[in-house]
Amino acid sequence: MSTKSDKAVERQMQMFEIEMMQQVFTSMTSSCLAKCIPSNYNDGDLTKGEAVCLDRCASKFMQAYMQTTKKLSTMASSDSKVVTGN
């Protein structure tokens, strides 16, 4: 059975994860818009090229983020094993 403090820690971790995903999304949006959408656009709709560029950019950004997260998780796991001696 979990205690109130366990639930508070879990809630805090969930909030931290939400904030991190918001930062990733904001960073991805800014980066991909700067790369794919010209500053002097004339049309309210995306061109096919812009849409493809945004799709590829977002996909690559998320792929890099997931690989980085996986690597950091592996490193953190290795570090905790060294600290605990397991």
Residue 41 DSSP symbol: -
Confidence of residue 82 (pLDDT cuts 50, 70, 90): low
Answering whether pTM is above 0.75, one says no
Over residues 36-77, the pLDDT tens digits come to 999 888 888 999 999 999 999 999 999 999 999 899 888 888
Domain boundaries, the chain: 19-80
Q: How far apart are CA 5 and CA 12, in angstroms?
A: 10
User: What mean pLDDT comes out for the span 14-19?
Assistant: 93
Other C-beta atoms lying within 10 Å of the C-beta of residue 33:
13
Q: How far apart are CA 24 and CA 72, in angstroms?
A: 16
Domain 19-80 coded CATH 3.20.20.20 = no
Q: Report the percentage of the chain scoring pLDDT > 70.
A: 88
